[in-house]
Amino acid sequence: MAPGGFFRTVDVARAAGVHENTVRLYVEWGFLAEPGRAPNGYRLWTVDHIDQMLFARLAMHGMWPGRRIRESALALVRRAATGDLAGAVADARVHATLVEQEIARAESAAAFLERWAAGNADAAACDEFYGPREAAVAVGATPGQIRNWERNRLVAVPKDPGTGYRVYGPDQVGRLRVVRSLLLAGYSVMAVLRMATELDRGRTTGLKDVLNTPRPGEEALTAFDSWLAALAEQKARAGRLVDMLGSRIDTLH
């Protein structure tokens, strides 16, 4: 600890389990308020800086679960760094609601998948056959997106033996709709491929768990590879952020 009850940069870094350069970067990025300076030029950190550093690390450490959640967390951390803790609490609650909305989207897409896999009528596609462009229109995608899904083995499409053109029947169109729904809800191509592989092996139940569970030896490179688990972790983290801000406010009264 520095003289006068202040802390050194190394103290702040150790409290958060990071390198000293990370502390300096957080100041540059607006995640920490600029500390005062001693006559010799050394930074003078306070306990508020340590609390904010711990708050910032809780909000941002780990895999980012999507642009919307990332931007919300960054804005929240910067608001707290200004000292506007009441405003930060409001932001934290909005952040928690955003996470809840993402969970609802992901759960809805997984439920649509399982209804379709079970053959439920409300998730069925149609009883017509399409070419590539018509299939894209039917599922609300572009022909380029559909080609990409085929290249990534998310759907296999038979060819007309007479013309050699791909023909999208009810099974293929239904599967394209499921794939589009899952990708829009945040699941990664890897997660959808994991599900598609099991589907092609004849599995029609428990596909939500397959989406969310990397196979043994499969490395989860992004939060989207185990999307529901990542969102559940974000939900718990959002609750802790609200609690941490509440505790900081309580200490001021």
67-96 per-position pLDDT tens digit: 899 999 999 999 999 999 999 999 999 999
What is the structure's pLDDT at 217? Answer: 78
Sign of torsion over alpha carbons 195, 200, 204, 206:
negative
pLDDT in tens, 93-150: 999 999 999 999 999 999 999 999 988 756 555 667 888 899 999 899 999 999 999 9
Within the chain, strands assigned E span 36-37, 43-44
Query: Domain 1-61 carries which CATH code?
Result: 1.10.1660.10
Residues across the chain: 253
In this model, does residue 59 exceed pLDDT 80? yes
- Give percent of the chain above pLDDT 70: 96
Q: Evaluate whether 55 touches 80 at the Cβ level (below 8 Å).
A: yes
Taking residues 191-213, report their average pLDDT: 92
Confidence band for 171, pLDDT divided at 50, 70 and 90: confident
In this model, does residue 2 exceed pLDDT 70? no
Q: Evaluate whether 180 touches 138 at the Cβ level (below 8 Å).
A: no
**Dist. CA 38–CA 25, nearest whole Å:** 20
Fold match between domain 1-61 and domain 105-228: yes
**Of 127 and 179, more confident:** 179
**Domain boundaries, given as residue ranges, for the chain:** 1-61, 105-228
What is the structure's pLDDT at 221? Answer: 77
Other C-beta atoms closer than 10 Å to the C-beta of 202 total: 6
Between 114-128, 162-176, 183-197, 199-213, the lowest mean confidence (pLDDT) is in 114-128
Burial state string for 158-189 with b = 16 or more CB within 10 A and e = fewer than 16: eeeeeeeebbbbeebbbbbbbbbbbbebbbbb
Read out DSSP for 76-137? HHHHHHTT-HHHHHHHHHHHHHHHHHHHHHHHHHHHHHHHHHTT-GGG---S--B-HHHHHH
CATH of 105-228, one of 1.10.3720.10, 1.20.1250.20, 1.10.260.40, 1.10.1660.10: 1.10.1660.10
Other C-beta atoms closer than 10 Å to the C-beta of 52 total: 27
**Dist. CA 65–CA 67, nearest whole Å:** 7
Taking residues 59-70, report their average pLDDT: 86
Other C-beta atoms closer than 10 Å to the C-beta of 133 total: 11
* Mean of pLDDT over the chain: 90
**Dist. CA 103–CA 48, nearest whole Å:** 33
